[in-house]
Chain A
Amino acid sequence: MVAETEPSNIETQFLLEALQRGQRTDGRGIYDYRTLKITGGSTPGLVTVQLGQTRVMARVSCTVTRPYPDRPTEGIVQFNAELSSLCAPHVDHTLRSQEVTVTRMLERVLRQSRAIDTEALCIVAGHKVWALRVDVHILDHAGNLVDAAAIAAICALRRFRRPDVTVDGETAVIHDVRDRNPVPLSIHHTPVCVSFAFFGAGELMVLDPSLLEEQSRVSWFTVTLNAHKEVCALNKAGGVPLTHEQIKRCVQIAVAKVDEINEKIQDAVNI
């Protein structure tokens, strides 16, 4: 069974000693992101993001369906993150729980932050709405899946084009994409995740953890912001507590980093 092996004691020790000297094992600075590359496919709604060696593919698709009875004027958005078996020959429970983490983060970042205008997805209230499906496939896992998946998902949503609809009272005509140009989704803002990992008693910190750093961390903290520097979500997990100064500092670092990420996103979505 090729299971996901935990890093050896020597590796973790080396990592911690290097961090105490302000150095990271891959030669980056403490607050340095790995190279971010965003590529769109020829079909709108397909985006592949590479963050260092981590590779994530997001695919957006839509179908027409009945709305939820308690929300008759809102469309439906469904997220599904999958750790592709490309990442490991036998995906064990540790990796499966990461899938769940990524899916939950996407739901918080994109749905609960009201980034997607679900009212604009309504076709005929109470009868027909658009149901969007965002499939995120993690093709290569080298740490920091959350940031990569969030960027992939929001870029795919912004590049996606749904078929145009003409509504006349209770009847709606959905135009074929060859007859009328498909239209973009209504996205209010572009949230981006910036993740930090903590080590030791919580005094050592890095931005954009690599796989080894992620496996050795004691706590993690993700700041979700948009281009207007508004904080959409804060997510802290792990046993070691953080002081409020650390939290404030992380948010400040995230505010500085979000500009670079946003520039790359803008280049990718302006097709």
Chain B
Amino acid sequence: MARPDRRDPSQIRALHCVLGQLNRVDGSAQFSAGDTSVLCGVYGPVDVKLYDEKLDRAHIEVKFRPDIGVPTTKDKWVEDAVRSTFEREILGQLHPRTLVQINVQVCQGDGSVDAAAINATTLALIDAGIPLRAMVAAATCVVRSDHSIIVDPTQEEADSALSTHTFAFSNLQTNSPAYVDSRGEFSIDEYNACYDMCMAAVDRTLAFMRTVVEGKILKETQTAL
């Protein structure tokens, strides 16, 4: 079954990223995969409310806002997904009794928005200079009605899928996912096939992220000279 945009089953959409566009936040990244575009801004480490203060590490807070309408429970789910992924990766012990606030704003949603949110967050945290244990990238796979598997689905492809699987891996231990979300009816073989396909997609995304960060450092050192 051919894909509407003629991509191969294992082909991800064209990735694009701009860092540091916003002035008030400490770091920002506008991450796009095809028509899905997500803006992430990070404050940190900043003052924390007394209620949330943690004595030995930073408090991580995530706010996820959709492009259309007011936030709903679906968006709260993505907030939780991003927070649980990055609570492990951010070296919060270096900044006790502070807050790291991750703000994700969807600009355009065309499938794989939660994966884009995780990718944008990694880049925004790097732009803000927040210490991380590793870089984390995510990808989504769906199992279609004919049981074929495709990576990085558009909204249209995701709507008609039997099951959806989002995996996030760090660049340290690529055989141990940082985040997993599976929905729908699927077999173990389908799950494993999605796992492998997402891992390959994540490798490519991590390579892209490296290029983006290298570009930023190059620009900064050139300006300094």
Cβ-closest chain B residue relative to A59:
B67
Cβ-closest chain A residue relative to B41:
A86
Partner of A55, one of B22, B43, B68: B22
Partner of B69, one of A53, A85, A90, A135: A135
CB distance from A140 to the nearest CB of B (A): 5
CB distance from A89 to the nearest CB of B (A): 4
Inter-subunit contact B103/A140 (CB<8 Å): no
Does chain B have a CB within 8 A of A139?
yes
Does chain A have a CB within 8 A of B107?
yes
Does chain B have a CB within 8 A of A87?
yes
A125–B37 alpha-carbon span in the complex (Å): 37
Known: A1-B49, A41-B37. A55 touches B108 (CB 8 A): no
Does chain B have a CB within 8 A of A236?
no
Does chain B have a CB within 8 A of A164?
no
Contacts of B25 in A (CB 8 A): 86
Inter-subunit contact B22/A89 (CB<8 Å): no
Inter-subunit contact A89/B101 (CB<8 Å): yes
**B25-45 Cβ-contact flags toward A at 8 Å (1 or 0):** 100100000010101010100
Cβ-closest chain B residue relative to A54:
B23
Does chain B have a CB within 8 A of A88?
yes
Partner of B108, one of A41, A80, A84: A41
Partner of B107, one of A41, A80, A89: A41
CB distance from A77 to the nearest CB of B (A): 15
Inter-subunit contact B65/A137 (CB<8 Å): yes
Inter-subunit contact A84/B47 (CB<8 Å): no
Number of A positions contacting B (CB below 8 A): 28
Inter-subunit contact B70/A80 (CB<8 Å): yes
Cβ-closest chain A residue relative to B21:
A55
Does chain B have a CB within 8 A of A133?
yes
Partner of B103, one of A53, A57, A84, A135: A84
A139–B24 alpha-carbon span in the complex (Å): 9
Does chain B have a CB within 8 A of A171?
no
Contacts of A141 in B (CB 8 A): 24
Contacts of B39 in A (CB 8 A): 86, 139
Contacts of A53 in B (CB 8 A): 23
Does chain A have a CB within 8 A of B144?
no
Does chain A have a CB within 8 A of B99?
yes
Inter-subunit contact A84/B24 (CB<8 Å): no
Partner of A84, one of B23, B65, B68, B99: B65
Contacts of B54 in A (CB 8 A): none
Inter-subunit contact A42/B105 (CB<8 Å): no
Inter-subunit contact A135/B68 (CB<8 Å): yes
Cβ-closest chain A residue relative to B35:
A42
Inter-subunit contact A89/B69 (CB<8 Å): no
Contacts of B107 in A (CB 8 A): 41, 46, 48, 57, 59
Does chain A have a CB within 8 A of B94?
no
Inter-subunit contact A140/B24 (CB<8 Å): yes
Which residues of chain A from 24 to 59 have a CB within 8 Å of any chain B CB? 41-43, 46, 48, 53, 55, 57, 59
**A135-166 Cβ-contact flags toward B at 8 Å (1 or 0):** 10101111000000000000000000000000
Does chain B have a CB within 8 A of A119?
no
Contacts of A167 in B (CB 8 A): none
Does chain A have a CB within 8 A of B46?
yes
Does chain B have a CB within 8 A of A2?
yes
CB distance from A262 to the nearest CB of B (A): 25
Which residues of chain A from 77 to 135 have a CB within 8 Å of any chain B CB? 80, 82, 84-90, 133, 135
Partner of A43, one of B35, B43, B103: B35
Which residues of chain A from 1 to 24 have a CB within 8 Å of any chain B CB? 1-2
Contacts of A59 in B (CB 8 A): 67-68, 107
A57–B25 alpha-carbon span in the complex (Å): 16
Contacts of A46 in B (CB 8 A): 67, 107-108
Does chain B have a CB within 8 A of A226?
no
A147–B148 alpha-carbon span in the complex (Å): 50
A23–B101 alpha-carbon span in the complex (Å): 37
Which residues of chain A from 199 to 234 have a CB within 8 Å of any chain B CB? none
Q: List 10 A-B contacts (CB under 8 A).
A: A46-B67, A55-B21, A59-B67, A82-B65, A86-B25, A86-B28, A86-B103, A133-B69, A139-B22, A140-B22
**Could you list 13 further interchain pairs (A-B, Cβ under 8 angstroms) beyond the known A84-B103, A137-B105, A140-B22?**
A2-B47, A41-B108, A42-B108, A43-B35, A43-B110, A57-B105, A82-B65, A84-B65, A86-B39, A86-B41, A86-B105, A133-B69, A139-B41
B residues with a Cβ closer than 8 A to A are 21-25, 28, 35, 37, 39, 41, 43, 46-47, 49, 63, 65, 67-70, 99, 101, 103, 105, 107-108, 110
